[in-house]
Structure 1
Amino acid sequence: MIKRLLLRLSDWDFRLFMRIFNLNGRRFIDHFMYWISKTGDGHLYMAIALFLLIFHSLLDEGKRIFATGAVGFVVKLSIYTVIKKKVKRNRPFQSLEDVEFLIPPPDQFSFPSGHMAGAVMTAIVLGYFYPFLQITLVVWACLVGFSRVYLGVHYPTDVVAGVLLGIISAKIGFFITT
């Protein structure tokens, strides 16, 4: 039964990947997805951290945001690294014929999506402290996840695992800092 469930999940993962990946080829959307994906590379997170340190460091809230995010990222990176090295799932372009990535991947393996984990963790932390940004942050995080599949570097289940990792990392960040 479990074997059959895993086969069905794998089939669903492949079919959904192909549906999303086959949407590419429209120049404007390809560029848009490329830049959305780049926001999950880590540079944006460093800019946010720097902004918080410079402009909010005098406020207790700024220190809490920075501390929560920093702890969350350390947790995310630690768990992410262990899972990547244990699972060693090839990226779609490595496993499927006629699939070429539209953005160079940051590392060899695809599971889980570190971009998605970082985006979700960031959206949760910033959304907690800045509720007026919640909808924008959720839309942004969803676009980051979609872009990773669209660009051919992740399967949908990699992105789902990234969501779960981002949630866990944020929760641990809040638990440790509050």
Structure 2
Amino acid sequence: MVWSHMGNTEIVIGVCVLVTAVLLWRTRDWLFSLVPLIAISLQATIFVIAANVVGRPRPKVSHLDPAPPTSSYPSGHVGASTALYLSFVLLASRIEHAWLRWSVTVVCLLVPLLVTYARLYRGMHHVTDVAVGMLNGLLCALLAYGWYRHRAREAGKLSTREKAPALT
């Protein structure tokens, strides 16, 4: 149940706002700090449009969670958690201490996988629902991070070959 709820809208938004604030405090870089917010906003927009267009019913099995008012396809929980935590993985490349960078990366890669497992186990989605949700989150995180890299390069914060300054 905990893993399933980690993909809930209020949890994803809360974690995003908290981490965005910490990133802004630590880096003083608005562009960098907004990457998770852009990733989940883009993911949510695509999810709402796709869910309304497709309108797929939930699997005909026992549900261990109350069903959200949206359709089964794609999984919003998986998409949101993937967009959020993958954006954290991309941003973690700036952490100077290797042990901390690797720890953050491993934890942030595990969370969407645990949410995916939970949503399937709890009978809320078909396999294709979570697969497309994960793809949606992946693409949104990559787009948000790509936006940051492009804008930072334009602002002169990055050269074309240079890595972003490290988080300390």
TM-score range, shorter chain: 0.7 to 0.9
Confirm or deny: 8 A CA contact 1:116 1:141 kept in the other structure: yes
Q: Is 1:85 the counterpart of 2:52 in the alignment?
A: yes
Residue in structure 2 matched with residue 100 of structure 1 by the alignment: 62
Spell out structure 1 runs of 4+ moving beyond 4 A.
none
> For residues 66 and 106 of structure 1, what CA distance do their matches in structure 2 show?
30
Deviates more, 1:129-138 or 1:105-114: 129-138
Higher share in helix: 1
> For residues 61 and 166 of structure 1, what CA distance do their matches in structure 2 show?
26
TM-score (norm 2): 0.75
Identity in percent: 21
Q: Residue 69 and residue 154 in structure 1: after superposition, are their counterparts in 2 closer, same or farther (change >3 A)? A: same
Residue in structure 1 matched with residue 11 of structure 2 by the alignment: 44
- Deviation of 1:120 after TM superposition, in Å, equals 1.1
- Deviation of 1:65 after TM superposition, in Å, equals 4.6
Q: Residue 65 and residue 152 in structure 1: after superposition, are their counterparts in 2 closer, same or farther (change >3 A)? A: farther
- Deviation of 1:174 after TM superposition, in Å, equals 1.4
Confirm or deny: 8 A CA contact 2:81 2:137 kept in the other structure: yes
Runs (5+) with no aligned partner, structure 2:
93-100, 150-168
What residue identity is the alignment partner of 1:69?
A: P
Residue in structure 2 matched with residue 163 of structure 1 by the alignment: 134
Residue in structure 1 matched with residue 120 of structure 2 by the alignment: 149
> For residues 110 and 91 of structure 2, what CA distance do their matches in structure 1 show?
17
TM-score (norm 1): 0.71
> For residues 102 and 87 of structure 1, what CA distance do their matches in structure 2 show?
23
Runs (5+) with no aligned partner, structure 1:
1-33
Query: Over aligned residues, Cα RMSD in angstroms?
Result: 1.9
